[in-house]
Structure 1
Amino acid sequence: MTQESLPALLDKATVCTQLAIAPRTLENMVKNNQFPAGVRVGKHVYWSELAVRKWQLLKFASQESWQP
């Protein structure tokens, strides 16, 4: 696997900005198993961009398949 094929790593601030949520909300979502847990690398926690996208697709699947 080459580095080019690896998904980007997102820190907590970036995930929160992308989802328009507060850091505490993200922590609670992870704690309640409503969002994938981050991976600790040293003193930082990261989320795979792919994992965040998959969560968004699952979360909004019913809304996007809605038909009047």
Structure 2
Amino acid sequence: MALLDFIYNRPNRVLALQRQYQADTRPIYLRPAGAKQTLAVYGALFSLGMLSTVYGIGCLVTGHGKPSSKEEA
């Protein structure tokens, strides 16, 4: 079966790649390429969403934007 040797008779490079990946001292979530940029964009969008939610809740609690009952009469 020399015809299929290239499929099942391959060198095992898992240990070398694992050593290379584990030699990095950065946190695991920052190791992939582009992780810092992705995390920064996610953090900005999450912060914007949370601030909008808090602002909306504040407006609902205080009645901001509704005409007062004295103005209607």
* Structure whose residues are more often helix by fraction: 2
Rg larger for: 2
Shared fold, TM over 0.5: no
Q: What is the TM-score with the length of structure 2 in the denominator?
A: 0.25
Larger RCO (CA within 8 A; separation ≥ 6): 1
Q: What is the TM-score with the length of structure 1 in the denominator?
A: 0.26
* Structure whose residues are more often strand by fraction: 1
